[in-house]
Amino acid sequence: AQTVTQSQPEMSVQEAETVTLSCTYDTSESDYCLFWYKQPPSRQMILVIRQEAYKQQNATENRFSVNFQKAAKSFSLKISDSQLGDAAMYFCAYRSRSGGSNYKLTFGKGTLLTVNP
């Protein structure tokens, strides 16, 4: 079974600075997707960024980018120019793209990000 580990329960960053959230995962599959979700105090789950494992290029969405290291099974999220609205719980998630469970998302326990003004 796949597992997702987020080793940082909490992180903080100064407004306008850069922060990196860590995520590692364990899988024996070669074809999968990785995601970062943001959960603000409203609890709504918002997709921040996704990475297909077959793509070598790291995904980027405006101020959000990932460092995907497939061999190391590492998938970190970098937030540049942090804003107060970035404060939230961030979840890393895995989904297989093959086999019979290619719909099931497996989440880490989350990292609570605080942004200091």
Partner 1 sequence: NAGVMQNPRHLVRRRGQEARLRCSPMKGHSHVYWYRQLPEEGLKFMVYLQKENIIDESGMPKERFSAEFPKEGPSILRIQQVVRGDSAAYFCASSLQGYNEQFFGPGTRLTVL
* Nearer of residues 11 and 105 to partner 1, judged by Cβ: 105
Among the listed residues 23, 68, 75, 110, the single contact to partner 1 using CB under 8 A: 110
What are the angstrom distances between the C-alpha of 76 and each of 4, 56, 72, 98, 102? 12, 15, 11, 23, 22
User: Is 103 a residue that touches partner 1 (CB under 8 A)?
Assistant: yes
User: Is 55 a residue that touches partner 1 (CB under 8 A)?
Assistant: no
Backbone angles phi, psi at 29, to 5 degrees: -90, 160
User: Is 41 a residue that touches partner 1 (CB under 8 A)?
Assistant: no
User: Is 107 a residue that touches partner 1 (CB under 8 A)?
Assistant: yes
Closest Cα to residue 46, out of 96, 7, 6, 88?
A: 88
Number of chain positions touching partner 1 (CB under 8 A): 21
